Structures are given as structure tokens and as C-alpha cells.
């Protein structure tokens, strides 16, 4: 674990030594705020709810999280530090977990900085704090899955831009999939499958304030399997 933390510390310093982390946090807060107050029509709705704030979270994350994860491996490859990293006495898993933790920490920081919105809004009405907790937990879990997916794509890319584009497309596809079930009349089993795979379907319950272990399990499975795939991809590269 200490090896993973060493890597996480180095990655965090890379995020904060460059404008990447600051731009991410500002863009995240701006887009969430815009969605909350304007798209979500907080004032007109007359309801003390954050549902508008969180309903579009899957799309915000689909576009912004890849900006964090695209550099994780593609940049190491480009500047040659990949070789340095892989000749350190760390297991591939430690490298992967360290990088994942760093990316997740930046998203978590952005989420934490968005807390004043519900806190301020709670002055004007009674918020259901349980719903807020569920929504933030869901957002964190989704960030975790998105970071893991983004890292896997980055580990297979030589170029940061292509890693970014591929991750955005993948995450958007996973988010939009659940719309298919409402647009088309799919057979029950297929609709179930499409919904099960969809990020936004699982996030939907959290944004309604429901913490379902199946949804928690979904995000955990995506996270763990993508991290595992990344580690395998890196190991496989040594035999080529």
C-alpha cells in the first residue's frame, strides 16, 4: 500500500504542479452550478432538492474525468518515464492503484468544494440530508468507475488526446445507453442488460436518494475490473 501511496502522491503533485487540477475543479464547479441553477431551474421549481444538480452528473463526469485520466499512462509513455516507473521495485498493481487514487482524489476535492451549494440552499428550506449523502456517495462511486475506465484507456494509448476522446465516447455511451430502453421497445431481458451496463441507470437510484447494494456493487465491479485490466495490459507490454 505504501508503494501505491508514493505513486498517488507523485501523481497528485503532477496534477497540482500543472493547471490540470485547477482547471478541472473550476470547470466541474461551473458546469454543476450552471446545471443546478439554470438547467435545473432551482429557483423556479420552488423545491429544496438537489435532484437537478445530480441528474446531469453522469454527463459532466463523462466529459471532465477523461481530462484527468488521459495523462496517467499516455504522458509517461511520451516522456519516457514509463521505463523509470516500471523499473521501480513496485508491482504493476501498486502503480495502477496509486494513479487511480490520485485521479479520484482530484474529483473528490471538486465534489467537496461543491458542498457549499447544498449547504447554502439548505438555509432556504429543509433538505433531506439522507438524499444528499446518497447523491454524493453515488457521485463518488461514479467518479471511481470513470477514473478506472479512463486509466485503462490511457494505458492502451500512446497519445493523450486520443485517450481523452476515446474515454469521453466510452463514458457517454455508457451513460446514454439507458435512454435506449425508453426510446425503443426492447425485449425485457435485453432492456435489463442494457440498463445493467449503463452508468446513468445505476446513478439514477442514488440521485433519488436510494442506496442500493446492487448499484454500489456495479460501480465497484467496474472499478476493480478496469484497474485489473490496466495492470494486465502493463504486464503484457513487458513480454512483447
Partner 1 sequence: MVEVSALVKRYGSFEAVRGVSFSVGSGKVLGLLGPNGAGKTTIMKVLTGYHRPSSGRAVLDGRNVVEDPEGVKASLGYLPEGVPLYLDMTVAEYLDFVAAARGLGGKERRAARKAAIERAVDACGLSGVAGIRLERLSKGFRQRVGLAQAIVHDPAILILDEPTTGLDPNQILEIRSLIRSLGAEKTVILSTHILQEVEALCSEVIILNDGLVVAMGSAEAIGAGLQGDERLECAVKGGFDPVEALTSIRAIPNVLSAEPTQAASGETTRFAVTAGKGRGDDVAEGLFDWAAANGTKLIELKRERLSMEDIFVRLTREEPKR
- Which residues in this chain contact partner 1 in the complex, by CB under 8 A? 2-3, 5-7, 9-10, 13-14, 17-18, 79-84, 86-91, 238-240
Measured from the CB atom, the residue of 23 and 30 that comes closer to partner 1 is 23
Q: What are phi and psi of 208, to 5 degrees?
A: -90, 5
Q: How far is the CB of 224 from partner 1 (least distance, A)?
A: 22
Smallest distance from partner 1 to CB 68, Å: 15
Q: Which of residues 89 and 188 has its CB atom nearest to partner 1 in the complex?
A: 89
Long-range contacts of 20-25 (CB under 8 A, 24+ apart): 20/67, 20/68, 20/71, 21/68, 21/106, 21/109, 23/67, 24/64, 24/67, 24/68, 24/106, 24/107, 24/110, 25/106, 25/109, 25/110, 25/113
Q: Which is nearer to partner 1, 47 or 235 (CB)?
A: 235
Q: What is the CA 81 to chain-centroid distance, rounded?
A: 25
**Distance of closest approach, residue 21 Cβ to partner 1, in angstroms:** 12
CB of 22 to partner 1, least distance (A): 14
- State the nearest-atom distance from the C-beta of 91 to partner 1, in Å: 6
Number of Cβ atoms within 10 Å of the Cβ of 63: 16
Residue 90 or 193 with smaller CB distance to partner 1: 90
The set of cell numbers assigned to 197 is: 451496463
Rounded Cα distance, 69 and 160, in Å: 9
Residue ranges with strand state E in the chain? none
Closer residue to partner 1, CB minimum distance, 90 or 194:
90
Amino acid at each position: 500500500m505504501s508503494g501505491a501511496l508514493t505513486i498517488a502522491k507523485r501523481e497528485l503533485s503532477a496534477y497540482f504542479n500543472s493547471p490540470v487540477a485547477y482547471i478541472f475543479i473550476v470547470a466541474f464547479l461551473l458546469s454543476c452550478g450552471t446545471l443546478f441553477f439554470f438547467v435545473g431551474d432551482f429557483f423556479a421549481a420552488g423545491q429544496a432538492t438537489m435532484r437537478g444538480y445530480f441528474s446531469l452528473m453522469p454527463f459532466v463526469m463523462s466529459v471532465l474525468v477523461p481530462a484527468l485520466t488521459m495523462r496517467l499512462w499516455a504522458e509517461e509513455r511520451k516522456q519516457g518515464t514509463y521505463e523509470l516507473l516500471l523499473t521501480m521495485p513496485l508491482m504493476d498493481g501498486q502503480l495502477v492503484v496509486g494513479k487511480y487514487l490520485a485521479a479520484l482524489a482530484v474529483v473528490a476535492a471538486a465534489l467537496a468544494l461543491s458542498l457549499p451549494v447544498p449547504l447554502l440552499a439548505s438555509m432556504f428550506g429543509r433538505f433531506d440530508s439522507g438524499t444528499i449523502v446518497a447523491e454524493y456517495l453515488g457521485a463518488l462511486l461514479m467518479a471511481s468507475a470513470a477514473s478506472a475506465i479512463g486509466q485503462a484507456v490511457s494505458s492502451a494509448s500512446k497519445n493523450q488526446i486520443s485517450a481523452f476522446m476515446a474515454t469521453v465516447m466510452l463514458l457517454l455511451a455508457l451513460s446514454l445507453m439507458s435512454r435506449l430502453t425508453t426510446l425503443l421497445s426492447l425485449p425485457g431481458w435485453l432492456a435489463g442488460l442494457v440498463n445493467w451496463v449503463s452508468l446513468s441507470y445505476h446513478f439514477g437510484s442514488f440521485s433519488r436518494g436510494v442506496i442500493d447494494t446492487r448499484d454500489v456493487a456495479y460501480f465497484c465491479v467496474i472499478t476493480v475490473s478496469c484497474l485489473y485490466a490496466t495492470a494486465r495490459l502493463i504486464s503484457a507490454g513487458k513480454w512483447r
